[in-house]
Structure 1
Amino acid sequence: MVPLTIDEHFLPDGSRVGTHVSAADEGRALRLVVDGALDHELPIAVLEQVMARYGKPLAEGVVPGGPRIELGDGRALCMLRHRGRYDVIARDYLVFERPGGPPLAELSTSIAGALLHLARAAGIRSDAVGGDE
Protein backbone atom coordinates (compact mmCIF):
# COMPACT_ATOMS: atom_id res chain seq x y z
CA MET A 1 0.00 0.00 0.00
CA VAL A 2 1.32 3.42 -0.96
CA PRO A 3 1.29 5.85 1.98
CA LEU A 4 -0.32 9.29 1.82
CA THR A 5 2.08 12.22 2.13
CA ILE A 6 0.25 14.60 4.46
CA ASP A 7 2.97 17.19 5.05
CA GLU A 8 6.26 18.32 3.55
CA HIS A 9 8.52 21.05 4.81
CA PHE A 10 12.17 22.09 4.72
CA LEU A 11 14.53 22.18 7.68
CA PRO A 12 16.96 25.09 8.21
CA ASP A 13 19.71 23.06 6.51
CA GLY A 14 17.56 22.81 3.37
CA SER A 15 16.69 19.13 3.68
CA ARG A 16 13.13 18.09 2.92
CA VAL A 17 11.10 16.19 5.51
CA GLY A 18 7.89 14.39 4.60
CA THR A 19 5.20 13.06 6.91
CA HIS A 20 3.39 9.99 5.61
CA VAL A 21 0.49 7.86 6.86
CA SER A 22 -0.72 4.40 5.89
CA ALA A 23 -3.05 1.75 7.29
CA ALA A 24 -1.49 -0.80 9.63
CA ASP A 25 -2.59 -3.79 11.67
CA GLU A 26 -5.41 -4.65 9.22
CA GLY A 27 -6.94 -1.17 9.52
CA ARG A 28 -6.84 -0.98 13.32
CA ALA A 29 -3.87 1.38 13.37
CA LEU A 30 -2.44 4.30 11.46
CA ARG A 31 1.28 4.16 10.70
CA LEU A 32 2.90 7.60 10.97
CA VAL A 33 6.30 7.97 9.32
CA VAL A 34 8.40 11.13 9.31
CA ASP A 35 11.38 10.77 6.95
CA GLY A 36 14.38 9.56 8.90
CA ALA A 37 12.97 10.61 12.24
CA LEU A 38 9.88 8.68 13.30
CA ASP A 39 8.02 5.47 12.54
CA HIS A 40 5.11 4.83 14.90
CA GLU A 41 1.67 3.24 14.87
CA LEU A 42 -1.25 5.06 16.44
CA PRO A 43 -4.65 3.47 17.05
CA ILE A 44 -7.29 4.52 14.50
CA ALA A 45 -9.24 5.96 17.45
CA VAL A 46 -6.54 8.65 17.70
CA LEU A 47 -7.15 9.72 14.10
CA GLU A 48 -10.91 9.67 14.73
CA GLN A 49 -10.52 11.96 17.75
CA VAL A 50 -8.16 14.36 15.94
CA MET A 51 -10.53 14.63 12.98
CA ALA A 52 -13.54 15.06 15.29
CA ARG A 53 -11.70 17.89 17.08
CA TYR A 54 -10.27 19.76 14.10
CA GLY A 55 -12.24 18.57 11.07
CA LYS A 56 -15.21 20.35 9.58
CA PRO A 57 -17.98 18.67 7.58
CA LEU A 58 -17.11 18.52 3.91
CA ALA A 59 -19.42 20.63 1.77
CA GLU A 60 -22.11 18.59 0.07
CA GLY A 61 -21.26 17.64 -3.48
CA VAL A 62 -17.47 17.87 -2.96
CA VAL A 63 -15.83 14.59 -3.91
CA PRO A 64 -12.21 14.04 -2.88
CA GLY A 65 -10.43 12.70 -5.94
CA GLY A 66 -6.90 12.43 -4.63
CA PRO A 67 -4.93 9.54 -3.16
CA ARG A 68 -6.80 7.43 -0.62
CA ILE A 69 -6.17 4.77 2.00
CA GLU A 70 -8.85 2.40 3.23
CA LEU A 71 -8.93 2.01 7.00
CA GLY A 72 -11.59 -0.69 7.23
CA ASP A 73 -15.10 -0.65 8.68
CA GLY A 74 -16.22 1.93 6.11
CA ARG A 75 -13.51 4.43 7.07
CA ALA A 76 -11.06 6.00 4.67
CA LEU A 77 -8.58 8.87 4.61
CA CYS A 78 -8.11 10.75 1.36
CA MET A 79 -6.52 13.90 0.02
CA LEU A 80 -8.30 16.88 -1.45
CA ARG A 81 -6.48 19.74 -3.15
CA HIS A 82 -8.46 22.96 -3.16
CA ARG A 83 -7.71 26.45 -4.42
CA GLY A 84 -10.20 29.07 -3.40
CA ARG A 85 -10.89 32.14 -5.51
CA TYR A 86 -8.68 34.22 -3.23
CA ASP A 87 -5.81 31.69 -3.01
CA VAL A 88 -2.72 31.80 -5.20
CA ILE A 89 -1.58 28.30 -4.23
CA ALA A 90 -3.84 25.30 -3.70
CA ARG A 91 -4.08 23.85 -0.21
CA ASP A 92 -4.07 20.16 0.67
CA TYR A 93 -6.81 18.85 2.93
CA LEU A 94 -7.29 15.46 4.55
CA VAL A 95 -10.79 14.08 4.36
CA PHE A 96 -11.82 11.41 6.86
CA GLU A 97 -14.75 9.36 5.64
CA ARG A 98 -16.61 7.46 8.35
CA PRO A 99 -19.84 5.53 8.66
CA GLY A 100 -22.72 7.29 10.36
CA GLY A 101 -21.44 10.82 9.83
CA PRO A 102 -20.45 13.31 7.17
CA PRO A 103 -16.86 13.28 5.88
CA LEU A 104 -14.63 15.61 7.91
CA ALA A 105 -11.97 17.80 6.27
CA GLU A 106 -9.04 19.78 7.65
CA LEU A 107 -5.72 21.13 6.35
CA SER A 108 -3.36 18.19 6.09
CA THR A 109 -0.52 20.09 7.79
CA SER A 110 -2.73 20.68 10.85
CA ILE A 111 -3.58 16.99 11.12
CA ALA A 112 0.06 16.03 10.59
CA GLY A 113 1.09 18.33 13.45
CA ALA A 114 -1.55 16.91 15.79
CA LEU A 115 -0.62 13.30 14.99
CA LEU A 116 3.08 14.05 15.42
CA HIS A 117 2.39 15.69 18.78
CA LEU A 118 0.41 12.67 19.96
CA ALA A 119 3.11 10.26 18.78
CA ARG A 120 5.68 12.26 20.74
CA ALA A 121 3.39 12.30 23.78
CA ALA A 122 3.25 8.51 23.53
CA GLY A 123 6.98 8.48 24.23
CA ILE A 124 8.32 8.78 20.72
CA ARG A 125 10.96 11.50 20.46
CA SER A 126 12.57 12.92 17.36
CA ASP A 127 14.67 16.06 17.39
CA ALA A 128 15.40 15.70 13.66
CA VAL A 129 11.88 16.75 12.70
CA GLY A 130 12.47 20.39 13.40
CA GLY A 131 10.75 20.92 16.75
CA ASP A 132 8.66 23.93 15.71
CA GLU A 133 5.50 22.10 14.56
Structure 2
Amino acid sequence: MALESPALTIDEHLRPDGTLQGTRLSSCEGGVRIVIDGELDAELPLAVLDQVMARYGKPLAEDIALEGPRLTLKNGSALCMLRHRARYDVIARDFLVYVRTGETPLVELSTSVAAALAHLARAVGSNTLVRDDHLQ
Protein backbone atom coordinates (compact mmCIF):
# COMPACT_ATOMS: atom_id res chain seq x y z
CA MET A 1 0.00 0.00 0.00
CA ALA A 2 1.29 3.46 -0.92
CA LEU A 3 2.01 5.90 1.89
CA GLU A 4 0.64 9.41 1.26
CA SER A 5 3.21 12.09 1.98
CA PRO A 6 3.05 15.92 2.23
CA ALA A 7 6.50 16.09 0.59
CA LEU A 8 8.26 13.46 -1.48
CA THR A 9 12.04 13.12 -1.31
CA ILE A 10 13.17 12.36 -4.85
CA ASP A 11 16.94 12.69 -4.50
CA GLU A 12 19.56 12.63 -1.76
CA HIS A 13 23.30 12.90 -2.11
CA LEU A 14 26.36 14.00 -0.17
CA ARG A 15 27.71 17.50 -0.66
CA PRO A 16 31.48 17.99 -0.95
CA ASP A 17 31.57 18.86 2.78
CA GLY A 18 29.98 15.51 3.66
CA THR A 19 26.53 16.79 4.62
CA LEU A 20 23.40 15.25 3.16
CA GLN A 21 21.42 17.32 0.64
CA GLY A 22 17.85 16.37 -0.22
CA THR A 23 15.54 17.33 -3.06
CA ARG A 24 11.85 17.26 -2.21
CA LEU A 25 8.65 17.87 -4.15
CA SER A 26 5.35 18.95 -2.66
CA SER A 27 2.01 19.96 -4.09
CA CYS A 28 1.13 23.64 -4.36
CA GLU A 29 -1.80 25.54 -5.82
CA GLY A 30 -0.24 26.09 -9.23
CA GLY A 31 1.68 22.84 -9.57
CA VAL A 32 4.72 21.47 -7.74
CA ARG A 33 7.14 23.03 -5.30
CA ILE A 34 10.76 21.89 -5.46
CA VAL A 35 13.02 22.37 -2.46
CA ILE A 36 16.73 21.57 -2.53
CA ASP A 37 18.23 21.92 0.95
CA GLY A 38 20.13 25.18 1.24
CA GLU A 39 19.93 25.97 -2.49
CA LEU A 40 16.50 26.26 -4.03
CA ASP A 41 12.85 26.75 -3.14
CA ALA A 42 10.62 27.32 -6.18
CA GLU A 43 7.18 26.57 -7.59
CA LEU A 44 6.67 25.21 -11.09
CA PRO A 45 3.44 24.79 -13.10
CA LEU A 46 2.18 21.22 -13.54
CA ALA A 47 2.83 21.62 -17.26
CA VAL A 48 6.56 21.62 -16.48
CA LEU A 49 6.28 18.28 -14.67
CA ASP A 50 4.16 16.95 -17.57
CA GLN A 51 6.80 17.94 -20.10
CA VAL A 52 9.74 16.60 -18.08
CA MET A 53 8.04 13.25 -17.60
CA ALA A 54 6.89 13.13 -21.25
CA ARG A 55 10.48 13.81 -22.36
CA TYR A 56 12.34 11.45 -20.04
CA GLY A 57 9.72 9.02 -18.73
CA LYS A 58 9.03 5.55 -20.10
CA PRO A 59 5.76 3.65 -19.75
CA LEU A 60 5.61 1.66 -16.50
CA ALA A 61 5.02 -2.07 -16.92
CA GLU A 62 1.50 -3.06 -15.89
CA ASP A 63 2.67 -5.69 -13.40
CA ILE A 64 4.62 -3.23 -11.22
CA ALA A 65 2.92 -2.43 -7.90
CA LEU A 66 3.26 1.13 -6.62
CA GLU A 67 3.71 0.60 -2.89
CA GLY A 68 6.21 3.34 -1.99
CA PRO A 69 5.70 6.91 -0.83
CA ARG A 70 3.11 8.87 -2.83
CA LEU A 71 2.37 12.56 -3.37
CA THR A 72 -1.06 13.51 -4.72
CA LEU A 73 -1.09 16.71 -6.77
CA LYS A 74 -3.92 19.26 -7.00
CA ASN A 75 -5.11 18.02 -10.41
CA GLY A 76 -5.57 14.46 -9.12
CA SER A 77 -2.35 13.09 -10.63
CA ALA A 78 0.27 11.58 -8.34
CA LEU A 79 3.99 11.01 -7.99
CA CYS A 80 5.17 7.73 -6.51
CA MET A 81 8.62 6.56 -5.51
CA LEU A 82 9.72 3.12 -6.60
CA ARG A 83 12.95 1.43 -5.46
CA HIS A 84 14.28 -1.28 -7.73
CA ARG A 85 17.39 -3.40 -7.60
CA ALA A 86 18.05 -5.49 -10.66
CA ARG A 87 19.88 -8.79 -10.17
CA TYR A 88 23.09 -7.33 -11.56
CA ASP A 89 22.96 -4.12 -9.45
CA VAL A 90 24.66 -3.82 -6.09
CA ILE A 91 22.70 -0.75 -5.02
CA ALA A 92 18.98 -0.20 -5.59
CA ARG A 93 17.90 2.68 -7.82
CA ASP A 94 15.09 5.08 -7.04
CA PHE A 95 12.55 5.82 -9.75
CA LEU A 96 9.80 8.44 -9.87
CA VAL A 97 6.47 7.35 -11.33
CA TYR A 98 4.01 9.94 -12.66
CA VAL A 99 0.46 8.61 -12.47
CA ARG A 100 -2.28 10.43 -14.39
CA THR A 101 -5.92 9.37 -14.59
CA GLY A 102 -6.65 7.36 -17.73
CA GLU A 103 -3.04 7.37 -18.95
CA THR A 104 -0.16 4.93 -18.69
CA PRO A 105 2.08 5.84 -15.74
CA LEU A 106 5.50 7.18 -16.74
CA VAL A 107 8.69 6.21 -14.88
CA GLU A 108 12.20 7.67 -14.83
CA LEU A 109 15.23 7.69 -12.53
CA SER A 110 14.38 10.13 -9.76
CA THR A 111 17.81 11.80 -9.99
CA SER A 112 17.17 12.63 -13.66
CA VAL A 113 13.77 14.16 -12.88
CA ALA A 114 15.24 16.09 -9.94
CA ALA A 115 18.00 17.53 -12.13
CA ALA A 116 15.59 18.56 -14.90
CA LEU A 117 13.12 20.20 -12.50
CA ALA A 118 15.92 21.97 -10.61
CA HIS A 119 17.33 23.32 -13.87
CA LEU A 120 13.94 24.70 -14.90
CA ALA A 121 13.29 26.11 -11.42
CA ARG A 122 16.63 27.93 -11.53
CA ALA A 123 15.67 29.33 -14.94
CA VAL A 124 12.47 30.68 -13.40
CA GLY A 125 14.50 32.22 -10.59
CA SER A 126 16.69 34.04 -13.10
CA ASN A 127 13.68 35.81 -14.61
CA THR A 128 13.30 33.31 -17.44
CA LEU A 129 9.62 32.50 -17.33
CA VAL A 130 8.47 28.93 -17.70
CA ARG A 131 4.92 29.21 -18.99
CA ASP A 132 2.61 26.65 -20.51
CA ASP A 133 2.92 28.21 -23.99
CA HIS A 134 6.74 27.83 -23.93
CA LEU A 135 6.49 24.10 -23.34
CA GLN A 136 4.94 23.10 -26.63
Q: Same fold per TM (> 0.5)?
A: yes
Q: What letter is aligned with 2:93?
A: R
Match of 2:56 in 1: 54
Match of 1:8 in 2: 12
Describe the superposition over 1:77-104 as per-residue Cα deviations: whole angstroms up to 9, x where unpaired.
Answer: 0100111111111110000001232000
Q: Is the 8 A contact 2:69 2:81 kept in 1?
A: yes
Match of 2:129 in 1: none
Q: Is the 8 A contact 1:74 1:99 kept in 2?
A: yes
Counterparts of 1:32 and 1:53 in 2: how far apart (Å)?
Answer: 19
Q: What letter is aligned with 2:16?
A: P
TM-score after normalising by structure 2 = 0.85
Deviation (angstroms), 1:105: 0.2
Deviation (angstroms), 1:3: 0.6
Deviation (angstroms), 1:39: 0.8
Deviation (angstroms), 1:60: 1.3
Q: What letter is aligned with 1:114?
A: A
Q: Report the 3-state secondary structure (helix = DSSP H, G, I; strand = E; otherwise coil) of the residue aligned with 2:125.
A: coil
Gaps (5+ residues) in structure 1? 125-133
Within 5 Å, give how 1:1-133 maps onto structure 2: 2-25=6-29, 28-124=30-126
Counterparts of 2:125 and 2:35 in 1: how far apart (Å)?
Answer: 15
Counterparts of 1:41 and 1:110 in 2: how far apart (Å)?
Answer: 18
The CA RMSD over aligned residues, in Å, is 1.5
Identity %: 63
Deviation (angstroms), 1:13: 1.1
Counterparts of 1:52 and 1:36 in 2: how far apart (Å)?
Answer: 29
- Detail structure 1 runs of 4+ shifted over 3 Å in the superposition: none
Count of aligned pairs:
123
TM-score after normalising by structure 1 = 0.87
Q: Is the 8 A contact 1:74 1:97 kept in 2?
A: no
Counterparts of 2:15 and 2:75 in 1: how far apart (Å)?
Answer: 37
Q: Report the 3-state secondary structure (helix = DSSP H, G, I; strand = E; otherwise coil) of the residue aligned with 2:52.
A: helix
Deviation (angstroms), 1:71: 1.1
